[in-house]
Amino acid sequence: MKRIAFFLLALNAACSSPATKSFPQGRVVDLSYPYDEQTIFWPTAEPFKLERVADGVTDKGYYYAANNFCMAEHGGTHIDAPIHFHRDGKTVDRIPLEQLMGEGVVVDVADKCANDPDYQITVADIEVWEKQHGRLPNGAIVFLRTGYGKRWPDRRSYMGTDERGPEAVAKLHFPGLAPETARWLVANRSIKAIGLDTPSIDYGQSQLFEAHRTLFERNIPAFENLANLDQLPAKGFVVVALPIKIAGGSGGPLRAIAIIPD
């Protein structure tokens, strides 16, 4: 733990010093999916579109490439800013950078989700993790591993349906965080952010999105559609999760990484 503490101090120094010449070393795990024609979006959201503007040798003899892209805020690996479900919540550009980086933990419930697409992660699941690894660290970024990352990019398997449009929302089935667990976390633990490997913090059949609302009232952002959580240990790694800085945005694409010390 002393090594992890030193690593976190080094990360903080690296991120705060304008004269930084080094960065903490370790194995880097990419937690984000690429944006392409396979990227999964909510059934009512516009998919990712890439328009080729230029791709070739110019009349002056050099190669040049440029594109336009269009997409909804909430799709692929992305952040939900608190304003997404709370009128007074922070927009994505207002979330402090310090809140998007720090010590990470993984609560693994993949076995429980394997045969239950509507599983909701319980307080007991968190307590089991704490019995094995100690209390959730203050200021932790908590990842919930459901195992659904292995289903990407199969929309039907990952979301429960590959249909699009408003009618498809009622057919969504995937695990999420139980509302009572969200309430327990904000009342009893101090976390920076939370994320998981499904399309939403609330499970697919949710109609009230209570986990979102509970977290966002406390300005705790959520990371959704995370990749490669199976490559992370239960604790002992650092997260850096930086979204596009959309002024007034309710969310946006997220490039998230984990650094596991050597």
Which residue numbers are catalytic? 84
Dig out the tokens for 118 from the structure. Answer: 């509507």
Beta strand segments in 206-250, E: 222-224, 235-243
Using CA atoms, how far apart are residues 71 and 131, in angstroms rounded to an integer? 42
Contact 234, 132 (CB under 8 A): yes
* Distance of alpha carbon 90 from alpha carbon 102, whole angstroms: 19
Read off φ and ψ for residue 23, nearest 5 degrees.
-140, 145
Tokens of 99: 């809140």
* Calpha distance 108→146 (Å, rounded): 7
Which residues fall within 8 angstroms of residue 222, CB to CB, at 6 or more apart?
A: 79, 80, 193, 194, 195, 201, 212, 215, 216
Note the maximum CA span of the chain. 66
Query: If residue 128 lies in a helix (H) or strand (E), which one and from where to where?
Result: helix 123-133
Whole-number Å distance between alpha carbons of 168 and 146: 22
Closest CA to 250 of 221, 226, 224, 207: 221
